Structure 1
Amino acid sequence: MIKHLVLFKLADQAEGNTKERNALIIKERIEALTSVIPVIRDIHVWLNHPDAPAGNYDIVLDALFDSLDDLHTYAVHPEHLKVVAFIGKVKTERVAIDYER
């Protein structure tokens, strides 16, 4: 099993939305991918608590795949790439790790 964790910092304003609204859009769009990308075993997006330190990342994507091949299938899937394009317009930073569980 491969755990895929990605953290994002978002711009305060982007694409006509607040950071909070964009975080919710990302959460909704990523979690909806489970219905169109069958290799996703589990996927959730968690939002940073509003009272947490300002230096924290804003959202974390927490996903589980059976293999690195399945993670790659997810990464290049056209529906995932649509979400990636939106995130690219609203993020300021990204960090990620993939590890075997």
Structure 2
Amino acid sequence: MIRHMVMWRLHDQAQGADKAANLAKAKDVLLSCAQVVPGIRTFEVATATPGMDCTHDLVLHMLVDDAHVLAAYQKHPQHQAIKPFMQAVVSERCCMDFTV
């Protein structure tokens, strides 16, 4: 199995909206991809707890069966469709994949 984790920091303003509105939309668009391919075992999206230091604004945690599932997710049209919005509102992105 592969654990796929992505963390984002968002701009204070982007796409005509503030960070709070863009966080809510980003969470919704990410969750819309939760079932796009078979083999996704865990798909969690969360926003940061207010007041915590050294954190990002948004996180995606996925657990998938194997590298083929992760590749299929990455290439899926629904996942590709959310990228322009995410790229427009994100100031920083960190990603890590590892075998469990």
Q: Same fold per TM (> 0.5)?
A: yes
Count of residue pairs brought into register by the alignment: 100
Percent of aligned pairs sharing the same letter: 33
The answer as to 2:19 corresponding to 1:4 is no
User: Could you say which residue in structure 2 is the equivalent of 1:32?
Assistant: 32
The answer as to 2:46 corresponding to 1:18 is no
Q: Answer whether contact 2:6 2:95 (CA < 8 A) is retained.
A: yes
The answer as to 2:83 corresponding to 1:74 is no
Q: Could you say what secondary structure the match of 2:33 adopts?
A: helix
1:31 positional shift: 1.3
Unmatched runs of 5 consecutive residues or more in structure 2: none
Determine the C-alpha separation between the residues in 2 that align with 1:29 and 1:38: 19
1:34 positional shift: 2.4
Deviations along 1:56-96, whole A, 9 cap, x unmatched? 21111101110011101000111001112210000011111
Determine the C-alpha separation between the residues in 2 that align with 1:60 and 1:35: 17
Compute the RMSD of aligned alpha carbons: 1.3
Matching residue's letter, 2:32: A
Determine the C-alpha separation between the residues in 2 that align with 1:40 and 1:21: 27
Determine the C-alpha separation between the residues in 1 that align with 2:5 and 2:33: 16
The two structures have a TM-score, normalised by structure 2, of 0.90
The two structures have a TM-score, normalised by structure 1, of 0.90
Unmatched runs of 5 consecutive residues or more in structure 1: none
Return structure 1 stretches of 4+ with deviation > 4 angstroms: none
Determine the C-alpha separation between the residues in 2 that align with 1:38 and 1:27: 21
